[in-house]
A and B are shown apart, each in its own frame.
Chain A
Amino acid sequence: MPLPDSIKDFQQDLPWLANNSLPDSESSPIAAAVADSDTLHKELLFLSALRTSTKQIQPADLPLDFAWRRFQQQILTRKQQQRLSYWRFAALAASFLLVVQSLILFNQPSRIEQFKPLASATAATFQIRFTQEATQGQIQKLLRKHHLRIIDGPGASGLYAVAAETDDAEVLSQLQQSDVVDYVQKN
């Protein structure tokens, strides 16, 4: 004979009454129904017996020491893999940086033409001898006026080597006309 629906509703909750996991608010009405119904009472006995038997059935024991050693091996393997992947990543990153650096270097426009020597540029040099009357001040004034600087001398014959910043034909002409210049020749 099938069970009435009201009993079936309680029946679905009985396993949790049997394992004592229901909160009081839920267990009280079910416990009351069990007390009133022989069918539910037997059902609860059946489920409680099943629960006890289930707990007594010992599934194959896990050999914990062996299982731990086995797992430890897994940790070790994982650590080695992580180390290896770290070095792989580091090597990849280093290679990548090298490539990027090379690309940057190769793609930069050459700026050698833009460099200027710290000393003044030399566009032309002259051999020059000053008159015996020329004073130090007159000579320096002349050199400054034409942006000249002494790079060598005086030699045994009184010749200086001077450098000009510009290769201007005017400079030679003006030097030749100067009162303090005895001799001048462009190299």
Chain B
Amino acid sequence: MTVDDIEELAAINAGDEEAMQRFFYRHATTVYRYVLSRTQDQTLATDILDVVMLVVWQQAGSYQKKASISSWLIGIARHKLLDHFRREKRHHHDELDETSADDSPLSDQLVAAAQNREWVKHCISHLNQLQREMIHLAFYEDMAYPEIARILNCPTGTVKSRMYHARKALRLCLERFAGRGTIHAIT
């Protein structure tokens, strides 16, 4: 959280549209990418971004300095996204089954596979929503697990467990690549 953010939130609270624009340009991408990481739907990500920024515009004063601005925004985005899912009653079943993932020590081949952007991108896109969310918050936003627990409103143990399962699912997916060496082999 920067001094700019705090000053700007105060200005936004007083109805300053220019301050809102600066805030928007600085943080919109964070919100957009978070929603995209869960939904992979650009239209929905833009819609949720608007809703989140509207909350900022109308309730900038409700920000509590306990959390970072990113956590605050992602927390709002997550709530709005859950509302959206509840309305749509939509469930995603495009998840990787990680139950059969091997727990044995990693091979050098697997470490190398994790360095392949295309393979990682493919595997992340096949994670379930909660796992994609974990990977995004931990590896894209570099958030600490207590911060993630606050956003997800769950115990820190749950965060670690979800991350563990996300990692297992990614490992399973990347093992297929590492064994066959081509993306077409598993699509």
Enumerate chain A interface residues (CB-CB to B < 8 A): 1-3, 11-13, 15-16, 18-22, 38-39, 42-43, 45-47, 49-57, 59-62, 64, 67-68, 70-72, 74-75, 78
- Complex-state Cα separation, A46 to B28, whole angstroms: 30
A62–B28 CB distance below 8 A: yes
Interface segment out of the listed B3-11, B74-82, B83-91, B156-164: B156-164
A50 to B106 CA separation, bound complex (whole angstroms): 13
Pick from B24, B106, B143, B160: contact of A43, CB under 8 Å:
B106
**Interface residue from B21, B25, B124, B145 paired with A54 (Cβ < 8 Å):** B124
Q: Which of B36, B108, B114, B147 contacts A50 (CB 8 A)?
A: B114
Does B120 make an interface contact (CB < 8 A)? Answer: yes
- Lowest 4 CB-CB distances: which A-B pairs, in order? A49-B114, A21-B144, A53-B120, A54-B139
21 contacts between A and B (CB under 8 A): A2-B104, A21-B144, A42-B108, A43-B105, A50-B167, A51-B139, A52-B115, A53-B114, A53-B117, A60-B36, A60-B42, A62-B29, A62-B49, A67-B32, A67-B46, A68-B24, A68-B28, A71-B24, A72-B17, A78-B57, A78-B58
CB pair A67 B49 closer than 8 Å: yes
Query: Given A11-B164, A19-B138, A20-B142, A57–B117 Cβ distance below 8 Å?
Result: yes
Interface size class of B (residues with CB under 8 A): 35 or more
**B-chain residues with CB within 8 Å of residue A22 when the two chains form the complex:** 144
Contacts of A74 in B (CB 8 A): 50, 53-54
Q: Which residues of B line the A interface, CB within 8 A?
A: 17, 20-21, 24-25, 28-29, 32-33, 36-37, 42, 45-46, 49-50, 53-54, 57-58, 103-106, 108, 110-112, 114-117, 120-121, 124, 135-136, 138-140, 142-145, 147, 160-161, 163-164, 167, 170-171
B106 touches A42 (CB 8 A): yes
Instruction: Find chain B residues with CB under 8 A from A78 CB.
Output: 54, 57-58
Q: Are A62 and B32 in contact (CB under 8 A)?
A: yes
Docked CA distance A163–B136 (Å)? 103
With both beta carbons as reference points, the residue of chain B lying nearest to A67 in the complex is identified as: B28
Verify A13–B57 contact, CB threshold 8 A: no
* A33→B53 CA distance, assembly (Å): 43
A74 smallest CB distance to B (angstroms): 6
- List residues of chain A with CB within 8 A of the CB of B42: 60
Contact of B117 with A56 in the complex, beta carbons under 8 Å: yes
**Contact at A16–B144, with CB atoms within 8 Å?**
yes
For B54, the closest partner residue in chain A by CB is A74
Q: Which residues of B contact A16 (CB under 8 A)?
A: 138, 144-145
Kindly list chain B residues whose C-beta atoms are within 8 Å of the C-beta of A71: 24, 49-50, 53-54
